[in-house]
Structure 1
Amino acid sequence: MSSELLNTVDLDAELQQASPQKILEFALSEFDNIVVSFSGAEDVVLVHMAHQIRPDIKVFVLDTGRLHAETYRFIERVREHYKVDIDVLSPDGEAVRELVRKKGLFSFYQDGHQECCGIRKIGPLRKKLLEVDAWVTGQRKDQSPGTRNGIPVIQDDKLFARPGDRLVKFNPLANWSSQQVWDYIRAMEIPYNELHDKGYVSIGCEPCTRPIGPGQHEREGRWWWEESTKKECGLHADNVKS
């Protein structure tokens, strides 16, 4: 089946009850030019599952230049553990320098994280996705009741598609809970970011991430100074309804 013939709405309804492995099997059988997005957090399970299906799976990670040292070490552990090439994407250096020159290193505490994330994350992601026909993300519905509780397992990505072309986005873990993810990590003895043992749940850039306390939702550790119901950096901006 070509990507032009895929009806993502019908397929989403069909795959809603499927396991992440089955969704990945479908994705990898339909697309050769597909890539897994690895954030350096618990979505390492996607790398594990995809590698079992296709050992030469393409993986990328966004290196914003502001990640924790633990995250950089974790990325290397995953690379070595699975013997997989990880494309480490960096932001445009001139754009970063201009932002820092004008606003300093921590402007997001005053005027929001969107501008910084746009340069350090969205720009490199957009450039990468112009090269592929489909991508796989670790989004889950339980990660953010305000923005992710309605995400499908397969969708047309209209944000990052090439002009006049089609980009398909898979979210195999959409219906899994955090508990299921961690049960799988422990059962399969999958490497994970050591920050998780220090109270970090949702892990992003060092200045914008902090541990959470008992009873707090995982996204409360991200951009904690902003509105709690719309905590998206822009990678999945289609989750935020106007």
Structure 2
Amino acid sequence: MWSITPEELTAIKLSLRVATVAMLFSLPVGVLTAYVLSRGSFRGKILLDGFVYMPLVLPPVVTGYVLLILFGRRGPLGSFLEQTFGIVLSFRWTGAALAAAVMGFPLMVRAIRLAMDTIDRRSEEAAATLGASPIWVFLTVTLPLSLPGIIAGAMLCFAKALGEFGATITFVSNIPGETQTIPAAIYAYTQTPGGDGGAFRLSVVAVVLSFAALMASELLSRRTGQRRAGFE
């Protein structure tokens, strides 16, 4: 009952790999997007805002289908990546990472944007009056003060990526050893007679990993926030 099989261990390792890659590749774009939404004032901002948060309200299957159309081997972006760089995303673990990143991205942006919104603008204005360029103000003032939100957003994206199922299975299917993450393996067990034990084991692992990610986010955010308060 409690013995994890090699196939289950492979699914666990793949889930951690997918979640880590999704988080790391989303982070730079997430920080930039959050900064634009927090500080920017331009036409179309509301459209960008809606586009960023769209995966939260769309059925995950729809998101996965859109990814399949765009990044499949016959899709405009998928064929370009394959012919130009030899990169194939559909039905590969890299595609699972892309789907997980898309689903976790809104949570990341939301946390970082809220952190940036709470920053006292006078700190940025003071740096600018001393001759700092906008990029230098961002790097030395905005980014450090946003660190608690950045950490929280990164961990939320990681936790969401660990549990992503609908978009992933639609885009990359459920291939053992290649695209079968923990949620996909649990689903496969529920469709197999006598698979209750495996589904239960992986469910426990998923709960533990997700809870650990959330607790790590909370602890790191608190420590960073305390250091920030000490400097202010």
Using structure 2 for the length normalisation, give the TM-score: 0.27
Instruction: Compare relative contact order (CA 8 Å, sep 6+) and give the higher one, 1 or 2.
Output: 2
Larger Rg: 2
Give the structure with the larger strand fraction. 1
TM-score under structure 1 normalisation?
Answer: 0.26
